[in-house]
Amino acid sequence: MVIKMQAEALDAFMHEVFEQVAEDFAVEEVCPGEITVRLRVTHKHLRPGGTISGPSMFALADVSAYLMTLAMIGPEALAVTTNCAIDFMRKPAAGVDLIAKGRLLKLGKVLSVSDVMLYSEGMEEPVARASLTYAIPPRRGV
Amino acid sequence: MVIKMQAEALDAFMHEVFEQVAEDFAVEEVCPGEITVRLRVTHKHLRPGGTISGPSMFALADVSAYLMTLAMIGPEALAVTTNCAIDFMRKPAAGVDLIAKGRLLKLGKVLSVSDVMLYSEGMEEPVARASLTYAIPPRRGV
Amino acid sequence: MVIKMQAEALDAFMHEVFEQVAEDFAVEEVCPGEITVRLRVTHKHLRPGGTISGPSMFALADVSAYLMTLAMIGPEALAVTTNCAIDFMRKPAAGVDLIAKGRLLKLGKVLSVSDVMLYSEGMEEPVARASLTYAIPPRRGV
Amino acid sequence: MVIKMQAEALDAFMHEVFEQVAEDFAVEEVCPGEITVRLRVTHKHLRPGGTISGPSMFALADVSAYLMTLAMIGPEALAVTTNCAIDFMRKPAAGVDLIAKGRLLKLGKVLSVSDVMLYSEGMEEPVARASLTYAIPPRRGV
């Protein structure tokens, strides 16, 4: 698998198409079939008690799987999530960012399948786990 | 099944414990084992092209299942989502709110299971479908 | 939605392509976007204590969603399950068949999405709930 | 994490409580929080064309997550699957066994969460991926 978009290109693309939330996320690393994405946790992501909200965790898993797919197929704003299964396993630690580690399990012609583990930065045990399917729009020349 | 919290009580509880997002949601109706919740769609829920973001749809499904569980067990801020499977099936219509119709499928001692259908207001076909599991904290006197 | 295969045609198709297990299942009713399928519970479906095994419940949900899709698109042995999320909620009753009630939530060009509730015959509360996605092979003339 | 049941003990337990299917499975290896289980593929697991049936893949994922949980908590026939999300990604190779590699992601007091990758023996790319939740019965002395 050849990487078509590196971390900088993915960040730039995110700022272009998801301008509203692009500041929340930072692509830390892209390898063939793997990605690391940071959620810069701010007040808006929190719930009382300092824990990170479920929708914020979902958003991080979703954007990570999306960017990992784009890293492999190139900029396709039209790829859409069709399915996500997510397990919330532990309370995220207060005061630290959330780090997503994604793996691309399948890159087919019409579907990509990924799984993503979410960690409180510096912790060993995952706070959540997600698997996601993306529908890839028909590609020119494929 | 006896309803322990009606729509007004659920709205009030939401303002108390999820003050940051309570304005986004409105409980429309509560019946035994069923709930209808509205997402008041505003700019922050949108993606380019006017479509509603995946995390906003997840948030609506999640809050609906949570409030439906509370309607049956009473105010328990500590109930936590342990699992969600969500299918995104159609693009939400632009310019209308999103309506969640939830059903409580099981209310056990430690877990509740719900499913939720999401509709663009006034449309017949669902835009998304979710199933959610909540872990219920040990209850006094149970 | 027009039904392309009625119950008898679905049963016949099942005997043709899934000869090994076709005897286990009976299509009870087909309506536009809905199906009822019976699992004829025999010794091989049971676990100690008389409960029905998880794989047997999965198989019933899977075959129901598959046949419901075929009812709408016609005989396509090549449609394949891409995803299933299943919640096991109650212990099935001993000594009775399992009845699946399926609904087709989306029939797209490449994907169909269904949900299925499983009941012990004669019981009101579901024993399990599943959602399934099928990939539909490219169709001639579509 | 200390292993309470090694591969031989798990195999023996499986023969005791799942006598009907125990011959289909073999525990290959148990490490803290990890397990490898083989499905001995025979005629009954196949679909026309030589591919392995969905319920057989589900059964392998399910038994792997169950045995991995037991490896850590000891023999508890009463642990039950509450939820499974499974993605079918590739057609299994004909004529070879199916190998499950499971990881225990969380072992809580009432729930365990695992994920399992399924491989056709000797192949690098997974044919399926599953995540499973088990409800653990209250334990003596815990």
D20-68 pLDDT, tens digit per residue, is 788 999 999 999 999 999 999 998 898 877 789 999 999 999 999 999 9
Question: Are residues B98 and B39 in contact, defined by beta-carbon separation less than 8 angstroms?
Answer: yes
Q: Confidence band (pLDDT; 50, 70, 90) for D112?
A: very high
CB contact under 8 A, D83 and C81: no
pLDDT attached to residue C78: 75
Q: With contacts defined as CB-CB under 8 Å, which chain C residues touch A114?
A: none
Contact of D6 with chain B, judged by CB distance below 8 Å, is answered with no
What letters, b where the CB count within 10 A reaches 16 and e where it falls short, cover D85-122?
Answer: bbbbbbebbeeebbbbbbbbbbbeebbbbbbbbbbbee
| Residues of chain C with confidence (pLDDT) below 50 | 140-142
* Residue of D87, D90, D113 with shortest CB distance to A87: D113
For residue A2, is it within any domain?
no
What are the structure tokens assigned to A75, written together? 């900029």
Task: Give the dihedral of Cα atoms C31, C100, C68, C86; nearest 10 deg.
Answer: 140
Which percentage of chain A shows pLDDT scores above 90? 77
What is the overall mean pLDDT for chain B? 92
Contact of B105 with chain D, judged by CB distance below 8 Å, is answered with no
Distance (Å, whole) CA C114 – CA C84: 10
Contact of A89 with chain D, judged by CB distance below 8 Å, is answered with yes
- A-to-C residue pairs, Cβ atoms closer than 8 angstroms: 14
pLDDT in tens, chain A (142 residues): 789 999 999 999 999 888 878 899 999 999 999 999 999 999 889 887 778 999 999 999 999 999 999 999 998 767 899 999 999 999 999 899 999 999 999 999 899 999 999 999 999 999 999 999 999 877 644 4
Residue of C nearest to A83 (CA): C83
For residue B2, is it within any domain?
no
Distance (Å, whole) CA D114 – CA D133: 7
For residue B15, is it within any domain?
yes
In the complex, which subunits touch B with 3 or more CB pairs below 8 angstroms?
Answer: A, C, D
> For chain B, how long is the longest CA-to-CA vector?
51
Residue B141 has pLDDT above 60, yes or no: no
Local structure of D76: helix, strand or coil: coil
For residue A1, is it within any domain?
no
Residue B142 has pLDDT above 50, yes or no: no
- Name C132's bridge partners: C84, C114
Distance (Å, whole) CA A62 – CA D60: 28
For residue D48, is it within any domain?
yes
CB contact under 8 A, A85 and B88: no
Contact of C33 with chain B, judged by CB distance below 8 Å, is answered with no
Question: Are residues A129 and A87 in contact, defined by beta-carbon separation less than 8 angstroms?
Answer: yes
User: What range defines the domain where residue C17 resides?
Assistant: 7-135
In the complex, which subunits touch C with 3 or more CB pairs below 8 angstroms?
Answer: A, B, D
Give the DSSP H or E segment for B86.
Answer: strand B80-88
Amino acid at D115: D
In the complex, which subunits touch D with 3 or more CB pairs below 8 angstroms?
Answer: A, B, C
Q: How many domains does chain C have?
A: 1
Q: With contacts defined as CB-CB under 8 Å, which chain D residues touch C47?
A: 18, 20
Distance (Å, whole) CA D85 – CA D65: 12
Contact of D58 with chain C, judged by CB distance below 8 Å, is answered with yes
* Residue of C44, C80, C87 with shortest CB distance to D20: C44
Chain centre distance of CA A105: 14
Distance (Å, whole) CA A30 – CA A17: 19
The residue among B31, B83, B92, B82 whose CA lies nearest residue B57 is B92
For residue D140, is it within any domain?
no
pLDDT attached to residue B76: 77
Residue of C nearest to A106 (CA): C82
pLDDT attached to residue C139: 59
Domain of residue A81, CATH code = 3.10.129.10
User: Where is pLDDT greater, at B82 or A78?
Assistant: B82
pLDDT attached to residue A17: 85
Chain C nearest C-alpha distance from D81 (Å) = 7
For residue A98, is it within any domain?
yes
Q: With contacts defined as CB-CB under 8 Å, which chain B residues touch A86?
A: 83-85
The residue among A85, A96, A87 whose CA lies nearest residue A127 is A87
Q: Confidence band (pLDDT; 50, 70, 90) for D139?
A: low
* Residue of D55, D82, D89 with shortest CB distance to C58: D55
Q: Confidence band (pLDDT; 50, 70, 90) for D107?
A: very high
- Sheet containing A98-107: which strands, arranged edge to edge? A25-31, A34-39, A98-107, A111-120, A128-135, A80-88, B80-88, B128-135, B111-120, B98-107, B34-39, B25-31
CB contact under 8 A, C135 and A82: no
Residue of A nearest to C110 (CA): A110
Q: With contacts defined as CB-CB under 8 Å, which chain A residues touch B78?
A: none
Residue D142 has pLDDT above 70, yes or no: no
- Name B132's bridge partners: B84, B114
In a 10 Å sphere around its CB, with 0-12 CB exposed, 13-18 middle and 19+ buried, how is residue B60 labelled? buried
Distance (Å, whole) CA A33 – CA C60: 35
